[in-house]
Amino acid sequence: MEINNKYSRRRFIRTLTYGTGALVLAPQLASLASCFPAASNKKLGIALVGLGGYSSGQLAPALQETKNCYLAGIVTGTPSKAESWSQKYNIPEKNIYNYSNFDSIAKNPDIDIVYVVLPVSMHKEYTIRAAKAGKHVICEKPMALNAGECREMIAACKQAGKMLSIGYRLHFEPHTLEVMRLAKEKPYGKITSIDTANGFTYRGDPKSWRLKKALSGGGALMDMGIYTIQGSRYATGLEPLFVTATEEKTNRELFKEVDETIHYKLEFPGGIVANGKSSYNENVGFLKIHAEKGDYGLQPAFGYGGIQGETPAGVMDFPQINQQAFQMDDFALCVSNKRMTRVAGEEGLRDMQIIDAIYRSIASGNRERIV
């Protein structure tokens, strides 16, 4: 995988190690380094379940760059997609499934990992079915409709003896890894507060599944706000205890079933507060960390590329990478080497516990404990 023409493997690792201080997150560094060629003896086959925009625009192209895994199969309910994907990516007919015959994937040795890229309401079903079929699973975020479903998914994968990972691509992104390092080492003193927001002005299909609560579980909070929740957690290295949230809506017809804009306040141990915002009515994306000796953060903070960061020491000088390729390569190595992924199902569960509490706070008008 080519990271950037001006960054060799050695320089990239050295940049991560010494760029703005010694990178002590050894698992992250090892993971990034391991995504280079010759990291695995055998490429594992991945089947994408659901061929919507994220699969077609991000995951399938990323799988043309991966070193430890490859696009082995697809699952779709649309025959025309099956035909076009087969031709484009040279996928044999025996590795193409629909939602009716999905369970027969158990008999296919070409497929080691199933990546669930479906509407949120279908995540639990296909994660559990994939695990029962003997496949390791990557499930796209948000993990499920609620924390209860997350627990069922985790339990099913454990019972089947299969690994479960959630599609948190930013855990493999260098600027984000630096924010994690700063949370651990605290070179700028104690973190006092965080401001973060993520959103875009929704101009898509008014009949999209994302606007139907039964399919999506919610609106901008589930889709975009999960990044701000993640950001608040990895920027502090802590888990929040309480949340207070409010909702505002300017287009009640378009967003009649789901939230448009939500403001929330997370209370962390030590008096740290994170003020977050998710929106389908504003193009925004930042993570600002306020500390005793100076502020730092990322802006843009959550995109597929173009992430930029700055600290009191200056601009973060890290390369842009293919986040999805690194994410999938890392999980393939985890499967091959039988080691735990750092973005396991429990990571998705923690976010859903917070999201559940945010929705409870909006409904009750009260400060809610995160459980």
**Which residues are tagged catalytic?**
141, 227
Q: Which amino acid is at 16?
A: L
Of 143, 147, 287, 309, the residue nearest 229 (C-alpha): 287
Of 165, 99, 157, 155, the residue nearest 133 (C-alpha): 157
For residue 246, the surrounding DSSP H or E stretch is strand 242-248
Q: Which residue has the tokens 């044999």?
A: 92
CA distance linking residue 155 with residue 275, whole number of Å: 33
Of 179, 155, 153, the residue nearest 166 (C-alpha): 153
Buried b (16+ CB within 10 A) or exposed e, 298-322: bbbbbbbeebebebeeeebebebbb
CA distance linking residue 238 with residue 186, whole number of Å: 13
Distant-in-sequence, close-in-space partners of 301: CB < 8 Å, separation ≥ 6? 196, 198, 227, 231, 285, 286, 287, 307
Residue 232: both structure tokens together: 């608040």
Q: Peptide bond preceding 300: is omega within 30 degrees of 0, i.e. cis?
A: yes
How much is the CA Rg of the chain, to the nearest whole Å? 20
Residue 324: both structure tokens together: 């999805």
Q: Which amino acid is at 366?
A: N
Q: Which residue has the tokens 């516990």?
A: 353
Burial class for 332, CB neighbours closer than 10 Å (0-12, 13-18, 19+) = buried
